[in-house]
């Protein structure tokens, strides 16, 4: 991840995985590049909420506005084994952001 101040300038990844993990990583890139960190974190939290819904969350207009194309992953949330695939790149991005900002697990700077 490359930052320009508080704006995400680029997110890149290298990996192999199933089609869900690859598609999710691609959507993450589309959604987060060019966004301020606070907005990107809100997108990530909304995606996590969708994935943890176990298929019970009915995406509303507000969620669709935040997630854009990522809303297509709503069906994945019904399959716990596939949720991990969809979340892999999002959790890696969250960790990379914390490292880039020098945050510890408690959210404070080191």
- What is the C-alpha to C-alpha distance for residues 103 and 12, in angstroms, rounded to an integer? 20
The ranges assigned to domains in the chain are 2-100
Q: pTM to 2 decimals?
A: 0.84
Residue 107 pLDDT greater than 60, yes or no = no
The C-alpha atoms of residue 8 and residue 15 are separated, in whole angstroms, by: 20
pLDDT at 106: 52
The answer to whether residue 14 scores a pLDDT higher than 60 is yes
Are 33 and 8 within 8 A, CB to CB?
yes
**Could you tell me the CA-to-CA distances from 7 to 11, 73, 104 in Å, in that order?**
11, 25, 21
Fold of 2-100: Sufe protein. Chain: A (3.90.1010)
pLDDT digits (tens, 9 = 90+) for 47-93: 999 999 988 878 888 899 999 989 999 999 999 999 999 999 999 99
CB distance 22 to 64 below 8 Å: no
pLDDT at 84: 95
């Amino acid at each position: 991840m490359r930052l320009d101040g508080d704006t995400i300038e680029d997110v890149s990844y290298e990996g192999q995985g199933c089609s869900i993990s690859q598609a999710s990583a691609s959507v993450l890139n589309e959604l987060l590049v060019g966004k301020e960190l606070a907005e990107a974190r809100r997108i990530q939290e909304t995606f996590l909420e969708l994935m943890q819904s176990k298929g019970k969350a009915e995406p509303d207009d507000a969620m669709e506005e935040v997630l854009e194309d990522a809303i297509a992953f709503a069906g994945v949330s019904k399959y716990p084994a596939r949720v991990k695939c969809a979340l892999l790149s999002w959790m890696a991005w969250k960790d990379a952001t914390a490292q880039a900002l020098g945050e510890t697990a408690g959210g404070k700077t080191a």
